[in-house]
């Protein structure tokens, strides 16, 4: 245990709060606090600072982490996180090394333009750009819905989790995709219920979960007969939201949650196996 | 050499630790750009040295200490390059709060206030008050004496209390 005799009272009281003092010093400070109003006020001030700081530091955990860094750690080398940052509306201006990035981006755009021109000019296959555009639109709309619904406290879902069977029947007939509600309790997600969304005039099912920190994670899916079957899980970051999408059995799926959640890919793989 | 499965587990642990590691890095660098670069470097080093991790104690402590060491090296390099340097917080005449707060451009207002605290305060507060490390553990991670942990912690708490009071008055 620490010896703090002779040091400033605020330092001693701070150690008192943390239980770092020996019994004798603790007893001494207990007696002081019982008789000295100023000492009590100082203790309250220290405690108020602790509580305020705790709340503020909690918020730091919700900042998005660099996606490329997550990938690099998961997969090993081969990706340079410095050139692939999380795209977020809240990102600061990044002054360092901006010109090389602009030149590189311009070069890529020039190349893409050339490739796109060749593709369009030869008119042999425009399905891929169209699919990519559709994918963008679908994720954008999911992101907008998620921003709105995830903030709803009392009306988070249309049909609550208790009516699981009803949700499966209702959404399967509405969306045209047969599914089971994945149980993700083992991954720290509690099923809250479901919603029916509309994207590009087509119905989209949304299964809503809440994680241990109260963050909302949702699985959205729609019928998409033209979607090529693929076992790939594609990770995307849009601002403060992360997405992992996949195609299966004539349907498109995407799991959406905070981009700071490093487990989205794992959740997507678990959900894909269970849905 | 670690078995492949262990390495995979280590990487997974590292990924799940990223938000906390980034938060710790922010308390050292006090701006997001440097924090992200520091986290990247720390992760690369941790993976390269994962065979040295004994598996005992908190992995976070090991990575935090590595992160702190990397940051001290970086500050030294900048000192050599720029002719300036890191001044001990208790030797500083004037607190460079505005510049630090400006750098924290994508933190919330309160986060900015936290990061505007003089160097060394936020990291001690984070480790002890938020993450529950003992004074001794925090001192080992940060490479400072326990007495410094104690004094920085009480200073941080009083500064945070003052920020809370300012915030309350501004809202009233």
Q: Is A225 exposed, middle or buried (0-12, 13-18, 19+ CB in 10 A)?
A: exposed
Residue A42: closest C-alpha in chain B = B158
3-state SS assignment for residue A218: strand
Cβ-contact A256, A142 below 8 angstroms: yes
Give the closest residue to B110 by CA, choosing from A161, A111, A58.
Answer: A58
Give the confidence band of B134 by pLDDT, cuts at 50, 70, 90.
very high
Structure tokens given for B107: 């933190």
pLDDT tens per residue, range A138-174 = 888 888 888 888 888 778 899 999 999 999 999 999 9
pLDDT over threshold 60, residue B8 = yes
- DSSP per residue over chain B, as a string? ---HHHHHHHHHHHHHHHHHHHHHHHHHH-SHHHHHHHHHHHHHHHHHTGGG--S-S-HHHHHHHHHHHHHHHHHHHHHHHHS-----GGG-SS--HHHHHHH-TTS-HHHHHHHTSPTTHHHHHIIIIIT---HHHHHHHHT--HHHHHHHHHHHHHHHHHHHHHHHHHH-
Q: Within a domain: residue A90? A: no
**Mean residue pLDDT across chain A:** 78
Given a cut of 50, whether residue A120 has pLDDT beyond it is no
Confirm whether A19 is domain-assigned.
Answer: yes
Q: Tell me the three state secondary structure of residue A199.
A: strand
CA-based nearest residue to A142, from A89, A193, A207, A210? A207
- pLDDT band, very low/low/confident/very high, at A38 (cuts 50, 70, 90): very high
More confident residue, A60 or A129: A60
Give residue B99's pLDDT band: very low, low, confident or very high (50, 70, 90): very low
Same domain, A52 and A144: no
| CB contact (8 A) between residue B108 and residue A59 | yes
The answer to whether A184 and A191 are in contact (CB under 8 A) is yes
> If we measure between CA atoms, which residue out of B165, B16, B144 comes closest to residue A74?
B16
Query: Looking at the complex, does the CB of residue B141 fall below 8 Å from at least one CB of chain A?
Result: no
A57·B23 Cβ contact <8 A: yes
Burial class (CB in 10 A: 0-12, 13-18, 19+), A248: middle
CA-to-CA distance for A86 and A62, rounded, in angstroms? 13
Q: How many domains does chain A have?
A: 2
Average pLDDT along chain B: 80
Nearest by CB: B157 against A4, A50, A92: A50
Please report residues of A whose CB lies closer than 8 A to that of B156.
49, 53
In a domain, A238, yes or no: yes
Residues A36 and A166 in one domain: no
Is CATH 1.10.1740.10 correct for B1-86?
yes
What tokens appear for A55 in the block? 């709340």
Residues of A in contact with B108 (CB under 8 A): 59
Question: pLDDT digit string (tens) for A170-216?
Answer: 999 999 999 999 999 998 999 999 999 988 888 999 999 998 878 89
CA-based R_g, chain A, Å: 26
Is the same domain home to A255 and A149? yes
Domain ranges of chain B: 1-86, 96-172
Q: Which is higher by pLDDT, B82 or A166?
A: A166
Distance CA B78, CA B34 (A): 12
Decide if A13 and B153 are in contact by the 8 Å CB cutoff. no
Write down the pLDDT at residue B169: 77
Residue among B32, B147, B158 minimizing CB distance to A46: B158
CB pairs under 8 A between A and B: 143
In the stretch 86-105 of chain B, residues with CB closer than 8 A to chain A read: 105
Please tell me if residue B149 touches chain A, with a CB cutoff of 8 Å.
no
Positive or negative: CA dihedral B113, A53, A90, B166: negative
Same domain, A51 and A142: no
Question: Given 3.30.930.10, 1.10.10.10, 1.10.3720.10, 3.40.50.300, which CATH number is that of B96-172?
Answer: 1.10.10.10
Of A48, A61, A65, the CB nearest to B161: A48
Residue A23 maps to a domain: yes
Q: Considering the domain boundaries, does residue A245 fall inside one?
A: yes
CB atoms within 10 A of CB A258: 22
Q: What is the CATH number of the domain that holds A160?
A: 3.40.1000
Domain that holds residue A217: 132-274
Residue of B nearest to A19 (CA): B134
What are the backbone dihedrals phi and psi of residue B63, each rounded to the nearest 5 degrees, phi first? Answer: -70, -40
Domain termination site, one of A60, A83, A101: A60
User: Cβ of A63 under 8 Å from any chain B Cβ?
Assistant: yes
Residues of A in contact with B19 (CB under 8 A): 60-63, 65, 260, 262
Interface residue A91 vs chain B (CB under 8 A): yes
Which burial class, exposed, middle or buried, applies to A41 when counting CB atoms under 10 A from its CB (0-12, 13-18, 19+)?
A: exposed
Looking at A117-121, A193-197, B36-40, B62-66, which range is the least confident one?
A117-121
CB contact under 8 A, B125 and A53: yes
Nearest CA to CA, how far is A53 from chain B (Å)? 6
């Amino acid at each position: 245990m620490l010896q703090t005799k002779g040091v400033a009272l605020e330092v001693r009281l701070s150690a008192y709060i943390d239980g770092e003092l020996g019994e004798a010093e603790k007893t001494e400070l207990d007696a002081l606090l019982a008789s000295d109003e100023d000492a009590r006020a100082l203790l309250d001030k220290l405690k108020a600072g602790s509580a305020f700081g705790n709340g503020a530091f909690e918020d730091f955990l919700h900042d998005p982490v660099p996606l490329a860094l997550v990938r690099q750690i998961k997969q090993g080398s081969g990706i340079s996180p410095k050139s692939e940052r999380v795209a977020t509306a809240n990102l600061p201006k990044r002054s360092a090394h901006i010109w090389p990035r602009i030149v590189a981006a311009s070069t890529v755009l020039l190349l893409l333009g050339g490739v796109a021109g060749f593709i369009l000019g030869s008119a042999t296959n425009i399905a891929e750009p169209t699919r990519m555009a559709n994918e963008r639109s679908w994720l954008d709309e999911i992101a907008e819905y998620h921003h709105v619904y995830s903030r709803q406290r009392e009306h988070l879902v249309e049909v609550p989790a208790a009516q699981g069977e009803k949700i499966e029947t209702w959404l399967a007939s509405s969306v045209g995709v047969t599914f089971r509600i994945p149980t993700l309790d083992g991954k720290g997600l509690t099923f809250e219920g479901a919603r029916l969304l509309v994207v590009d005039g087509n119905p989209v099912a949304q299964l809503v979960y809440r994680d241990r920190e109260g963050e909302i994670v949702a699985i959205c899916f729609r019928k998409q007969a033209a979607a090529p079957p693929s076992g790939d899980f594609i990770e995307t970051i849009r601002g403060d939201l992360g997405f992992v999408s996949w195609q299966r059995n004539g349907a498109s799926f995407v799991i959406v949650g905070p981009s700071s959640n490093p487990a989205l890919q794992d959740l997507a793989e678990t959900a894909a196996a269970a849905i | 050499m670690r078995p492949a499965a262990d390495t995979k587990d280590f990487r997974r642990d590292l990924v799940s630790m990223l938000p906390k590691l980034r938060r710790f890095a922010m308390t050292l660098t006090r701006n997001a750009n440097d924090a992200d670069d520091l986290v990247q470097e720390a992760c690369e080093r941790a993976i390269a040295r994962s065979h040295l991790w004994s598996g005992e104690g908190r992995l976070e402590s090991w990575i935090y200490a590595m992160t702190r060491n990397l940051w001290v090296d970086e500050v030294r390099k900048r000192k050599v390059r720029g002719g300036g340097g890191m001044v001990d917080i208790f030797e500083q005449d004037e607190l460079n709060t505005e510049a630090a707060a400006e750098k924290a451009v994508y933190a919330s207002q309160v986060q900015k206030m936290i990061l505007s605290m003089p160097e060394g305060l936020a990291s001690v507060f984070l480790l002890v008050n938020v993450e529950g490390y003992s004074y001794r553990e925090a001192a080992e991670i940060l490479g400072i004496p326990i007495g410094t942990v104690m004094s920085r912690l009480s200073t941080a708490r009083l500064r945070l209390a003052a920020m809370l009071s300012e915030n309350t008055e501004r809202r009233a």
